[in-house]
Amino acid sequence: MTAIVVWDQAESPPAGGGAVLCWRSYAHGGSVSSVPRYLEAHADRIRSKYLAFIHDLGESLVAGRRVIDHLNFGDGFSFWWMTTIAEKSPLKSPRIYDCLRMFALEEMLAETHPSHLTLVSSDRPLAQAMQATCRNLNIGFQWEHRGARQKWSLRSVYVALPYALKAVLSLRHVMMRWPLRKSKGPRWFADRAAIFICSYFIHLDPTLCARGQFHSRQWESLPRLLHDSGRRTNWLQLFLFSVAVPDVGTGLSWVRRFNADAASQGCHAFVDGYITVGLLLRALTSWLKLCAASLRLRDIPSAFRPQGSAVWLWPLLRDDWRRSLTGQTGIGNCLAVEQFDAALDGTPHQEIGLYLCENQAWEKALLRAWRKHGHGRIIGVQHATAPFWHLYYFDDPRALTARGECALPLPDQLAVNGAVAWTAFIQAGYPEGRLVQVEALRYLNLAGLAKRSGRDRARHDEAISPAAAPVALKVLVLGDLIPTSMHHLLGMLVDAMTLLPRQCQVTFKPHPGYAVDLTKYRSLAAGETAEPLAQILPDYDVALSANSTSAAVDAYVAGLPVIICVDGDGLNLSPLRGQAGACFVSSPQDLAAALQAIGSVGAAPDRNRKEFFCLDAEMPRWQRLLGMVRG
């Protein structure tokens, strides 16, 4: 092969050309191959490569010192662990997908040995990364710039501002939360039976909370279990604006009501309640140190070539690096360190701490302050699912076992909510001795559905089998929060319906955070429902979702066949990736075939769906973990 084209365009590549590698679709066949498809086929190896690269980047020597050590300002904690690069969240750093595709592309080029590569794209950083990679592989390179020019907007002006100026402007968020200082200094419970919980002030039941009854859908019945067993709770809350809590006044009002009945509702304070002028000045001082460190690390771009690889990832991760040091992320992390330090310094000794674990930057600040001020055992709680490509849950095994100054801050234990999460962490190299299984608090309402027998499901599948008398297939479409994913799914369904010989009855359940105008898809003749999933799932034959919709797990645990639409424009973030009984489709033809097969292939094996989560409503695992029962 002498030449190859990398096609980074929304439309399909022109027919009749030479070899083409699609950058943002799963299209394949003939002379067309797919980079996303190759990435998925070799996901374990490429994910490990990326995690190793991040580890090695932190260990890289610049001016004779590790990057990690450059970001340690004398207390044994490195701000490296709070950078978005070390955090590895595809939700915060969308360029991670490009980095992973670059690893895949490198392997594909090693197989085909082209002499020349042409990139058709409007993406300048991607072109820079690909040009450097081709140079390292002795492959000729050409960038064919194709795509709309960026239009002027206030957003584009803001993006073009210096990082330091954007950091200063981001302090407006501090001013918006300044009234939360009124929540500072509650009368924390100080007895040995008290349990400390750090959580988000979101996903709350607004009706109950307005009446002074704290109920978090992230913790569900655990606070009641603790109260009934004689445990009292200290809650340090991270305030987030939401539909239920649209302003700080509402948050303060609710917290005052909770604290008025603290023995029953727990004692509550906001992390932002600890902001003072002095704390803000200390945070600014730390940020200036980060800015100075960025100057000492000005030669860092050369370290963005992974060991043993020809790819160069600096153009793709440059913005993450600069935001994390001199930009708004850097100054925000400095504030978080000072806030948690003040909060944990003023809290009486806590024997046990829990926090919602997603390996976000603030969690590193919490762990640092928790140990600095001599508190007891702290447990990270994996409260949702841990999908394969949610890289923030995973680290290179070397980082997980490192000890000494500036090592990766980890909880004493990580509480995982079922066999699937347990296996995911073990396979990624997480130390088994730090893992413990607990009941899935957010999913306990699925316990009844999970008990539905495989025999009942089989009888249902037989009734709707394509070989049986014609019966309309009842399809539940699960809404997604991401507009592009949602419209891609619905558009694919519209096209699939024209290829499907069997009749379908479509019902749409929108995501609470994104309403879809179904009039744009009149040919579906879709109904709409707002009923809770646990109530309506038994009424449907199959669930259809986009790849990032967590509601697909509810349908899976309930025993329904689940079809997930994937789009090469983004990572497959589905929590059902790799699970038996979950079908992934990338074209209308695939979707039509999957719908036609419903009733002949059956749902997931009983064991798979029953063991996905721990769903014992009595919560014996939680009771053992927190010392409420022996054994």
* Same structural domain, 26 and 120: yes
User: Is residue 286 in a domain?
Assistant: no
User: Is residue 583 in a domain?
Assistant: yes
* Same structural domain, 463 and 581: yes
- Contacts of residue 514, Cβ cutoff 8 Å, sequence gap at least 6: 479, 480, 481, 482, 483, 486
CATH number at residue 571: 3.40.50.2000
Computed over its alpha carbons, how large is the radius of gyration of the chain? 26
580 vs 433 pLDDT, higher one:
433
* Same structural domain, 382 and 473: no
User: Is residue 389 in a domain?
Assistant: yes
Domains of the chain: total: 3
Q: Which of 265, 261, 269 is nearest to 237 (CA)?
A: 269
CATH number at residue 254: 3.40.50
User: Is residue 219 in a domain?
Assistant: yes
CA distance 329 to 319: 11
pLDDT of residue 65: 95
Q: Please, which pLDDT band fits residue 455 given cuts at 50, 70 and 90?
A: very low
* Same structural domain, 25 and 55: yes
| Exposure class string for 527-537: b at 16+ Cβ within 10 A, else e | eeeeeebbeeb
Q: Is the pLDDT of residue 454 over 50?
A: no
pLDDT of residue 132: 97
User: Is residue 580 in a domain?
Assistant: yes
* Same structural domain, 193 and 245: yes
pLDDT of residue 396: 97
Joined tokens for residue 489: 């799914």
- φ/ψ region of 374 (left if φ > 0, alpha if ψ in -120 to 50, else beta) reads left
Q: Is the pLDDT of residue 310 over 80?
A: yes
Q: Which of 404, 414, 410, 409 is nearest to 434 (CA)?
A: 414
- Contacts of residue 106, Cβ cutoff 8 Å, sequence gap at least 6: 133, 137, 309, 310, 311
CA distance 587 to 111: 27
* Same structural domain, 438 and 530: no
User: Is residue 158 in a domain?
Assistant: no
As a 3-state breakdown, the chain gives helix, strand, coil percent values, each rounded to 5, of 45, 15, 40
Q: Please, which pLDDT band fits residue 576 given cuts at 50, 70 and 90?
A: very high
Averaged pLDDT, 180-192: 85
Q: Which of 349, 343, 335, 404 is nearest to 369 (CA)?
A: 343
Average pLDDT, the chain: 91
Averaged pLDDT, 279-308: 97
pLDDT of residue 317: 98
**CA angle, 176 as apex, 172 and 179 as ends, to 5°?**
135
* Same structural domain, 135 and 79: yes
Q: What is the pLDDT of residues 312-322, one digit of tens each?
A: 999 999 999 99
What is the widest separation between alpha-carbon atoms in the chain?
75
* Same structural domain, 470 and 586: yes
DSSP string, 388-409: TT-GGG---HHHHH--STTPPP
Q: What is the pLDDT of residues 53-110, one digit of tens each?
A: 999 999 999 999 999 999 999 999 999 999 999 999 998 999 999 999 999 999 999 9
Q: Which domain holds residue 40?
A: 3-153+297-314
* Same structural domain, 568 and 518: yes
Residue matched to tokens 């300002």: 73
* Same structural domain, 385 and 511: no
Joined tokens for residue 540: 């449907």
User: Is residue 38 in a domain?
Assistant: yes
* Same structural domain, 415 and 377: yes
Locate all alpha helices (DSSP H) within 150-228, ordered by sequence.
154-160, 163-169, 172-177, 206-210, 222-228
**CA angle, 104 as apex, 101 and 109 as ends, to 5°?**
120
User: Is residue 436 in a domain?
Assistant: yes
Joined tokens for residue 397: 């095994």
pTM, two decimal places: 0.92
* Same structural domain, 264 and 379: yes
Give the amino acid at 310. Answer: A
pLDDT of residue 413: 97
